[in-house]
Amino acid sequence: MRAEFVNPFLASLLNVLKTMASMELAPQKPRLKKDEVARGDVSGLIGMVGPKTRGSMSITFDEGLALEIMQRMLGERPHSINEEVTDMVGEITNMVTGGAKRILAEKGYEFDMATPAVVSGRGHTITHKCDSAIIIMPFDSEYGKAFIEICFDS
């Protein structure tokens, strides 16, 4: 998979969390992911289909990071992942994909976005909608980790 597909999602996640939650994440080294097990506690997964490509993207947050983002965005902090937290993760997934979609459209890649699915629980799985390699990009913060997974058939 080419960096031109991956970088817009990474930049969009950093922008969304900085804008909406005044939070900076530190990107770590990307690698190939060889299984479907999520690396955190709550994930948003969204499919994308266009004339030139199809794929999917997920964002997974550790519980502590998700709760901190909730506190910063909405001023409330639940004790654990609940429906409001999963709704927020779905909305972040939408915003990140929308931001990446704008960047990719400038490069001639058009795609439609599905409605995000949100899954939570330790050890949950993420099934991507493509046949290519899955790239996982970890991010560090003082509240926990986040992970973007991207898979595109092009």
**Mean pLDDT by 10-residue block, N- to C-terminus, for the chain (154 residues)?**
80 96 95 93 93 89 97 94 96 95 88 92 89 92 96 80
Fold of 3-153: Chemotaxis protein chec (3.40.1550)
Instruction: Measure Cα distances from 63 to 39, 131, 152 in Å.
Output: 11, 29, 27
Which pLDDT score, from 0 to 100, does residue 2 have? 67
Task: Give residue 1's pLDDT.
Answer: 53
DSSP state of 97: H
* Tokens encoding 27: 């990107």
Enumerate the β-bridge partners of residue 140.
26, 145
Contacts of 142 (CB under 8 A, 6+ apart): none
pLDDT at position 129 is 77
Helix (H) / strand (E) element for 149: namely strand 144-153
pLDDT for 91 equals: 96
CA 135 to chain centre: 12
pLDDT at 154: 63
Query: Domain residue spans in the chain?
Result: 3-153
